[in-house]
Amino acid sequence: MFKMSQKGFTFLELIAVLIVLAIMTAVAVSRATNNDAEVVTGADTLKAHIRYAQTMAMNSNPNAGDETIWGISCSGSSYWLFRGTAPAADIIRLPDDEKYISGDRTINLTQKKISVTSFTVYFDNRGIPYSPLGTQWPGTAITVAPASGSGTTVNINITPFTGYLP
């Protein structure tokens, strides 16, 4: 009598292996595409802070003696909200997660794992951007990049004459 060999895999075993491989591939791809999440989140937070400075300037009342000029300034390693014409003199604490705020009330970019080009933008009581004080904002992009130096970068553009932040 001739006996049949029982070597090989069943169809169910092959399907199970393919499902496991598909799950592992999905996890690997999702982790590879999320490594720039800090940059995107940091850029969104910076945009929100710029909008906050603009809103504070627009809500100032020049008739009540309020300082109507507000702005955001960045040194490259940190950024901060200020009021008045001297960015380093009147630093005001920005609303942010406590772990990113330094003792001097600035947002620490090293802890956020991002780097930002240095800039200073002032807003008047109509929300119009200026840089430096008295001259129209040139419309240059603010670049947010990973602190490691490689990866996705995000450009933030403040529209001259209107202050619109897309």
pLDDT tens for the chain, 166 residues long, are 566 667 778 889 899 999 999 999 988 877 665 558 889 999 999 999 999 999 999 998 777 666 678 999 999 899 999 988 888 888 988 887 778 888 888 999 988 889 999 999 999 888 999 877 678 888 889 999 998 877 789 999 999 888 899 8
Q: What span, in angstroms and rounded, lies between the C-alpha atoms of 8 and 149?
A: 50
Q: Give the C-alpha distances (Å, rounded to integers) separating 22 from 9, 17, 33.
A: 19, 9, 17
Q: Which residues contact 156 (CB under 8 A, 6 or more apart)?
A: 43, 46, 47, 50, 141, 142, 143, 144, 165
Determine what percent of the chain falls in helix, strand and coil, rounding each to the nearest 5.
35, 20, 45
The CA-based angle 31-37-53, given to 5 degrees, is: 170
Judge whether 5 lies within some domain.
Answer: no
The CA-based angle 145-147-152, given to 5 degrees, is: 35
Judge whether 163 lies within some domain.
Answer: no
Judge whether 131 lies within some domain.
Answer: yes
Judge whether 9 lies within some domain.
Answer: no
Judge whether 86 lies within some domain.
Answer: yes
The CA-based angle 21-24-29, given to 5 degrees, is: 120
Give the burial string for 93-124 (b: 16+ CB within 10 Å, else e): ebeeeeebbeeeebbbbeebebbbeebbbbbb
Q: What is the pLDDT of residue 45?
A: 93
- Domain that includes residue 92, residue range: 37-156
Q: What is the pLDDT of residue 138?
A: 84
The pTM (predicted TM-score) of the whole model is 0.76
For the chain, what is the domain count?
1
CATH number, domain at 76?
3.55.40
